[in-house]
């Protein structure tokens, strides 16, 4: 059924809320490390050869000397620091395949964060992901290599907005997408990601549910359930740019092409797709079905990361870049590990409330 009601700001984006970080405590606790050599030589080439084998289909050999010394340095510093790197599926191949300890969609990263056995977690992703890792690991040091790595969905709603919604719809459960600040999570009953949104909504046994802040994800869930969904007018600035016309053009050129879309896309874009799912579900689809030609209607690095693994699949564009995800680079990851910047901090009272909503989602039976 269509969404029951959509509320929210007239414009789709607020100014990004201030993000919290402080490098002071982490630096005092773990100390600074000296900068390692970043020289390209035969030893670096030999020691990184097994990593180059993972990305040789997407990174030309001539470019490897620019990446390899930093990759080697990050992997050494990680061991020295007892740190792990969690990387989202939208990270570039040299991060995703060569320095990450765990990769995945938002749900997989939240799960990995909850079982992380390390002193330090570096989030190669955006701020809300790092905050989720901190909420689940209050005693650990969580770093984000660039504090400006935000998200248009997370900045479309505030804790005050959620409190007002609760007043307006007393007793109606509030589900928030993990793409939100800790304060918004703290005001919610349960979180969801794009891989479990329908399951979370239906788990509540309610006739009406408020689903925040992604209007298109809410519409996608509403199309598959009898639960009445009250949505918010937040949008992902990457997925809202796709159009049905560009997908129809691709299909007209090759009717056998498979089009797979993320549920943050507008409904008329999803209507053109053969499959819709979270980033992890999209990757699984390509691994299982091995289409000859496929369009991944999402962030560009997804296709690069899967192409590294499946050279027999042709990835057809369009794709769009997420400017926030692309703030994370190898050099910033190394600097973050050496200098303990930027440490993500969450007010403990907010973190305790937000943890309930995140853990309720993680512990949902699948
Ligand atoms: P996934 O949970 O599907 O990885 O989505 C996160 C995200 O930010 C997509 O834009
Ligand atoms: Fe946020 Fe969209 Fe970037 Fe994902 S792709 S982090 S939803 S802006």
Which atom of ligand 2 lies nearest, measured to the CA of 298? Answer: 5
Query: Ligand 2 centroid to 152 CA: how many Å?
Result: 6
What CATH number does the domain containing 234 carry?
3.40.50.10800
Q: Using the structure block, give the residue that is written with the tokens 């809300």.
A: 128
Nearest-atom index, ligand 1, CA of 179: 8
> Is residue 302, in this structure, part of any structural domain at all?
yes
CB of 264 within 6 A of ligand 1: the answer is yes
Residue at 306 is within a domain: yes
The pLDDT value recorded for residue 114 is 86
Phi first, then psi, for residue 33 (nearest 5°) are -110, 150
Indicate the pairing of strand 275-276 with strand 258-261: parallel
Q: Which ligand is in closest contact with the Cα of 194? A: 1
Q: What angle do CA 117, 118, 121 make, to 5 degrees?
A: 115
| Nearest protein Cα to ligand 1, atom 4 | 105
Centroid of ligand 2 to alpha carbon of 341 (angstroms)? 22
Residue 143 DSSP symbol: E
Angstrom distance (rounded) from CA 366 to CA 114:
17
The residue whose C-alpha atom lies closest to atom 6 belonging to ligand 2 is 151
* Ligand 2 atom at shortest distance from the alpha carbon of 264: 7
Whether residue 82 is found in the same domain as residue 38: yes
pLDDT beyond 80 at 9: no
Give the alpha-carbon dihedral of 86, 88, 92, 93, to 10 degrees. Answer: 70
pLDDT band at 36 (very low <50, low <70, confident <90, very high): very high
Given a cut of 70, whether residue 276 has pLDDT beyond it is: yes
Position 16 scores a pLDDT of 53
CA atoms within 13 A on the CB side of 255: 0
**Closest Cα to atom 8, ligand 1: which residue?**
179
In terms of pLDDT, which residue wins out, 279 or 15?
Answer: 279
Q: Which among 185, 35, 45, 10 has a CA at the least distance from the CA of 110?
A: 185
Q: Is residue 56 part of a domain?
A: yes
**pLDDT tens per residue across span 122-172:** 999 999 999 999 999 999 999 999 999 999 999 999 999 999 999 999 999
Considering the domain architecture, whether residues 234 and 259 belong to the same structural domain is answered as no
**Residue 162 near residue 187 (C-beta atoms within 8 A):** yes
Higher pLDDT, 253 or 366: 253
Q: What is the pLDDT of residue 15?
A: 46
What's the CA gap between 174 and 165, in Å, rounded?
Answer: 9
Residues 208 and 266 in one domain: no
Does the residue 49 lie in any domain? yes
Instruction: Say what the pLDDT of residue 12 is.
Output: 47
Centre a 10 Å sphere on the Cβ of residue 62 and count the other Cβ atoms it contains.
7
Split at pLDDT 50, 70, 90, the class of 14 is very low
Q: Once rounded to an integer, what is the mean pLDDT over residues 287-314?
A: 97
Mean pLDDT of 97-111: 95
pLDDT for res 20: 66
Residue at 345 is within a domain = no
Q: Are residues 70 and 41 in the same domain?
A: yes
Ligand 2, pocket-test mutation among 152, 235, 296, most atoms within 8 A of CB: 152
One domain, residues 28 and 107: yes
- Same domain, yes or no: 294 and 357: no
**Ligand 1 touching residue 161 (CB < 6 A):** no
pTM over 0.85: yes
pLDDT (tens digit per residue) in 185-212:
999 999 999 999 999 999 999 999 999 9
User: 30 and 144 in one domain?
Assistant: yes
Mean per-residue pLDDT over the chain, rounded: 95
Q: Ligand 1 atom closest to Cα of 153?
A: 8
Residue nearest ligand 2's atom 3 by CA: 322
- Residue 10, pLDDT > 80, answer no
Q: Which residue has the tokens 């809320």?
A: 17
Tell me, using a 6 A CB cutoff, whether residue 279 lines ligand 1. yes
Helix (H) or strand (E) holding 106, with range, is: helix 106-114
CA of 176 to the centre of ligand 1 (A): 14
Angle at Cα 351 formed by Cα 180 and Cα 354, nearest 5°?
A: 50
- Per-residue confidence (pLDDT) for residue 109, from 0 to 100: 95
Atom of ligand 1 nearest to the CA of 126: 8
Kindly state whether residues 164 and 307 are assigned to the same domain: no
19 falls within a domain: no
Q: What is the mean pLDDT of the segment spanning 92-102? A: 98
Considering only residues 20 and 184, tell me which one the structure prediction assigns the higher pLDDT: 184
**Residue 116: predicted pLDDT:** 85
Q: Are residues 354 and 214 in the same domain?
A: yes
What is the pLDDT, as a whole number, of residue 4? 75
Does 137 lie in the same domain as 67? yes
Instruction: Taking residues 306-330, report their average pLDDT.
Output: 97
pLDDT at residue 19, rounded to an integer: 64
251 vs 366 pLDDT, higher one: 251
Distance from Cα 50 to the centre of ligand 2, integer Å:
31
| Whether residue 244 sits in one domain with residue 233 | no
73 alpha carbon to ligand 1 midpoint, in Å? 29
Higher per-residue pLDDT: 113 or 219? 219
Mean pLDDT for 334-347 is 96
Who wins on pLDDT, 69 or 12?
69
Q: Number of structural domains, the chain?
A: 3
Instruction: Give counts: helices (H), strands (E), the chain.
Output: 17, 13
In the chain, where do the E strands start and end?
5-7, 83-88, 102-104, 120-124, 141-143, 174-177, 190-192, 208-212, 228-232, 258-261, 275-276, 293-297, 314-315
The set of protein residues with a Cβ atom below 6 angstroms from ligand 2 is 126, 151-153, 179, 236-238, 264, 299, 322, 324-325
Kindly give the number of the ligand 2 atom that is closest to the alpha carbon of 214. 7
- Residues 275, 258 share a domain: yes
Q: Is 180 in the pocket of ligand 1 (CB under 6 A)?
A: no
CA distances from 254 to 162, 192, 258, 259, 302 (A): 45, 35, 9, 11, 21
Residue 208 in any domain: the answer is yes
Task: Determine the pLDDT at residue 1.
Answer: 74
Residue carrying structure tokens 């690991």? 137
The minimum-distance atom of ligand 1 relative to the CA of 239 is 10
Domain region containing 199: 5-14+154-238+350-362
Q: Is the CB of 240 under 6 A from ligand 1?
A: no
Residue 344 counted as domain residue: no
Q: Is the CB of 137 under 6 A from ligand 1?
A: no
Ligand 1 atom 2 nearest Cα: 106
pLDDT at res. 365: 80
Percent of the chain with pLDDT over 90: 91
Res. 24 pLDDT band, cuts 50 70 90: confident
């Amino acid at each position: 059924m269509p969404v029951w009601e959509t509320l929210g700001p007239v414009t789709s984006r607020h100014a990004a809320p201030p993000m919290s970080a402080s490098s002071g405590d982490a630096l005092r606790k773990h100390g600074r490390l000296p900068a390692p050599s970043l020289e390209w030589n035969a030893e670096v080439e030999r020691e990184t050869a097994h990593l180059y084998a993972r990305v040789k289909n997407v990174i030309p050999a001539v470019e490897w000397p620019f990446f390899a010394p930093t990759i080697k340095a990050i992997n050494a510093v990680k061991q020295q620091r007892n740190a792990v790197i969690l990387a989202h599926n939208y990270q570039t191949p040299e991060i995703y395949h060569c320095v990450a300890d765990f990769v995945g969609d938002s749900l997989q990263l939240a799960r990995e964060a909850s079982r992380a056995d390390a002193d330090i977690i570096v989030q190669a992703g955006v701020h809300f992901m790092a905050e989720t890792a901190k909420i689940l690991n209050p005693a650990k040091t969580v770093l984000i290599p660039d504090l400006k790595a935000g998200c248009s969905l997370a900045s479309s709603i505030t804790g005050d907005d959620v409190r007002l919604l609760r007043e307006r719809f007393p007793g109606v459960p509030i589900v928030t997408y993990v793409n939100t600040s800790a304060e918004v999570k703290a005001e919610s009953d349960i979180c969801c990601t794009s891989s479990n949104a329908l399951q979370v909504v239906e788990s509540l046994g309610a006739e009406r549910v408020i689903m925040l802040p992604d209007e298109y994800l809410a519409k996608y869930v509403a199309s598959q359930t009898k639960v009445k969904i009250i949505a918010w007018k937040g949008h992902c600035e990457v997925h809202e740019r796709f159009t049905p016309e560009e997908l129809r053009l691709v299909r007209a050129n090759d009717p056998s092409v498979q089009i797979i879309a993320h549920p943050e896309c507008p409904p008329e874009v999803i209507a053109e797709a053969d499959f819709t799912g979270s980033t992890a579900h999209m990757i699984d689809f390509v691994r299982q079905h091995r289409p000859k030609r496929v369009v991944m209607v999402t962030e560009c690095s997804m296709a690069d990361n899967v192409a590294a693994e499946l050279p027999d699949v042709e990835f057809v564009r369009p794709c769009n870049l997420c400017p926030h995800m692309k703030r994370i680079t190898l050099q910033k990851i190394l600097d973050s590990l050496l200098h303990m910047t930027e440490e993500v901090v969450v007010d403990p009272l907010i973190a305790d409330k937000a943890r309930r909503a995140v853990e309720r989602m993680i512990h949902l039976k699948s």
